[in-house]
């Protein structure tokens, strides 16, 4: 070593005109795919590069101000589609030490879980897929990234725009609606599967939305054994026979019990999993998962909606 000054410290991320602050470490990982060259006589003798990109992962502090697209930039209508736009959106890491790392093109490939409760959240980890300039040759000094000394543009953390109010789950609407509390709040997971779209000459050039499997996980509180069993539609009036849907036929909504926060709605829903616990120190109900049932209006499907509050000045 020739200096006591070494590269360390925190950073912020900038993408699509938005600054992301993290609650934990921001991790940038080169994702290099290798093809092994093997010989029956010598074993592996070499490895050849078949793809190169970066992944960028962090847990956002969760600043929200009518800006769902900064965390969920695509939805059900994008299933089967390529996600990166025709004009690249670079992603930039600004370090506290004054370094600027720029990658030419990025897209959210794993949105954050929405962790809805007073003592955690409001968001889990998210991940970007980051690609080089498709028009540049690898020999170019800025084909896949640039690193330079540059101070971050004016930015401001607004903790008040990351609310963590108490939440409730509501089944149905109007006079017949039912509010249910969660032991530790609620966790919404979009359940997105995004796959790389690669071609031989360039490697990964885009990402495709392959599937969405949204769910809300929680441990219900205050329901009797009979009340929770009725929601499985196992027997009785309206029971789901073999081969039939066990949809409840009512909307499921998670929203703030007080104050401002996120609202998640499934237009119809069904219980996917859950259990009752019988032990001296156990709550009666374990972890449950509710999943949406799609509804169609004029042929247009609705599976879920996520509404961010307006919190800015």
For Cα atoms 148, 206, 10, give the angle at the middle one, nearest 5 degrees. Answer: 35
Q: What is the pTM of this model?
A: 0.92
**pLDDT digits (tens), the chain, 313 positions:** 787 777 778 999 999 999 999 999 999 999 999 999 999 999 999 999 999 999 999 999 999 988 999 999 999 999 999 999 999 999 999 999 899 999 999 999 999 999 999 998 899 999 999 999 999 999 999 999 999 998 887 678 888 889 999 999 999 988 889 999 999 999 999 999 999 999 998 999 999 999 999 999 999 998 999 999 988 888 888 788 899 888 999 999 999 999 899 999 999 999 999 999 999 989 999 999 999 999 888 888 899 999 999 876 5
Name the residue among 136, 62, 71, 69 with its Cα closest to residue 105. 136
Any domain includes 224: yes
Any domain includes 312: no
Any domain includes 4: no
Structure tokens of 179? 């509010």
Any domain includes 313: no
Any domain includes 87: yes
Any domain includes 64: yes
Name the residue among 33, 18, 71 with its Cα closest to residue 198. 33
Residue whose structure tokens are 């449950």 = 288
Structure tokens of 39? 């010989």
Any domain includes 266: yes
Task: Report the C-alpha gap between 166 and 216 in whole angstroms.
Answer: 16
Number of domains in the chain: 1
Q: Judge contact between 250 and 172, C-beta under 8 A.
A: yes
Report the pLDDT value the prediction gives residue 7, as an integer from 0 to 100. Answer: 79
Determine the structural domain holding residue 115 and report its residue range. 11-307
Any domain includes 5: no
Residue whose structure tokens are 């994702």 = 31
Report the pLDDT value the prediction gives residue 66, as an integer from 0 to 100. Answer: 87
Structure tokens of 28? 């940038």
Structure tokens of 64? 């929200």
Report the pLDDT value the prediction gives residue 156, as an integer from 0 to 100. Answer: 82
Report the pLDDT value the prediction gives residue 277, as an integer from 0 to 100. Answer: 93
Report the pLDDT value the prediction gives residue 93, as an integer from 0 to 100. Answer: 96
Report the pLDDT value the prediction gives residue 313, as an integer from 0 to 100. Answer: 57
Question: 254 CB contacts (<8 Å, ≥6 apart)?
Answer: 116, 167, 168, 169, 170, 186, 188, 216, 262, 263, 264
Listed in sequence order, the DSSP H helices in 148-256 are 225-230
Report the pLDDT value the prediction gives residue 3, as an integer from 0 to 100. Answer: 79
Task: Report the C-alpha gap between 82 and 78 in whole angstroms.
Answer: 8
């Amino acid at each position: 070593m020739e200096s006591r000054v070494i590269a360390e410290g925190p950073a912020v991320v900038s993408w699509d005109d938005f600054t992301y602050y993290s609650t934990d470490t921001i991790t940038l990982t080169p994702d290099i795919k290798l093809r092994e060259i093997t010989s029956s006589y010598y074993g592996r003798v070499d490895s050849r590069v078949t793809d190169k990109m970066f992944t960028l992962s962090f847990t956002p502090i969760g600043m929200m101000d009518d800006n769902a697209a900064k965390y969920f930039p695509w939805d059900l209508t994008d299933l089967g589609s390529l996600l990166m736009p025709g004009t690249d959106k670079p992603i930039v890491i600004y370090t506290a030490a004054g370094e600027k790392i720029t990658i030419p093109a990025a897209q959210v490939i794993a949105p954050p879980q929405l962790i809805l409760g007073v003592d955690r959240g409001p968001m889990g980890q998210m991940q970007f897929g980051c690609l080089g300039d498709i028009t540049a040759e690898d020999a170019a000094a800025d084909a896949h990234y640039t690193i330079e000394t540059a101070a971050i543009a004016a930015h401001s953390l607004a903790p008040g725009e990351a609310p963590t109010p108490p939440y409730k789950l509501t089944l149905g609407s109007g006079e017949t609606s039912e509010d249910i509390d969660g032991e530790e709040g609620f966790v919404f997971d979009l359940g997105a599967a995004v796959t790389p779209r690669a071609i031989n000459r360039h490697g990964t050039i885009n990402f495709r939305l392959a599937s969405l499997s949204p769910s809300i996980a929680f441990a219900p509180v205050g329901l009797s054994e009979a009340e929770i069993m009725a929601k499985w539609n196992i027997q009785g009036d309206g029971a789901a026979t073999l081969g039939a849907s066990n949809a409840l036929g009512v909307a499921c909504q998670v929203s703030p019990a007080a104050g401002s926060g996120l609202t998640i709605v499934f237009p119809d829903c069904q219980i996917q999993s859950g259990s009752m616990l019988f032990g001296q120190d156990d709550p009666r109900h374990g972890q449950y998962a509710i999943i949406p049932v799609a509804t169609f209006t004029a042929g247009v499907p609705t599976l879920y909606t996520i509404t961010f509050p307006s919190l800015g000045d």
